Structure 1
Amino acid sequence: MCMFSLFYFFFLQLLNMDAVAAKTARESLDLAFQMSNILDTGLDRHTLSILIALCDLGLNPEALAAVVKELRTELVPLPPSDAAHAIP
């Protein structure tokens, strides 16, 4: 087997592993999002993916949950804009 063929073989294997890893990650996020909806957490898919990524980096999940709860209590709803109430 020539060097190019060997490189090409390993390159294809790497691409295949990346596709499998991406599919697995997507399926895991889908499952976590379904569980999140069942538990009525109010987290959207993007926020959930960020929280999962932070956990993967080693952040404490309980600390992250506490931060999310704290941020929710501190958020003040924005008043509706005048444009929304304008009569056409």
Structure 2
Amino acid sequence: KRIDVNGNGQTLYYAQDENEIIGLNKAESSKLSITFKDGKVFKIAFLSSPEGVLNPILKLTGQDRKLNGFEWREQARPLTYKDVFRK
């Protein structure tokens, strides 16, 4: 499965070196593609004008751990994969 994002795609994920978390990678791109394998993110391709920063885990602030402009809307969230992958 794959999700293509056109316009203001943001990612936030913990970077690892072997089994140790080394930092939090925060990146955005005007166009990106996310590929899933076995129900997990397998690959993220930043296709247009990517910008990002890897912040060391010990220097993270509360804002570093959030996507810009993100609002948690419990009533609008998808409950199954079919809510995300509509044909």
* TM value normalised by structure 2: 0.21
- Of structures 1 and 2, the one scoring higher in RCO (CA 8 A, sep 6+) is 2
User: Which of the pair is proportionally richer in helix?
Assistant: 1
User: Which of the pair is proportionally richer in strand?
Assistant: 2
* TM value normalised by structure 1: 0.21
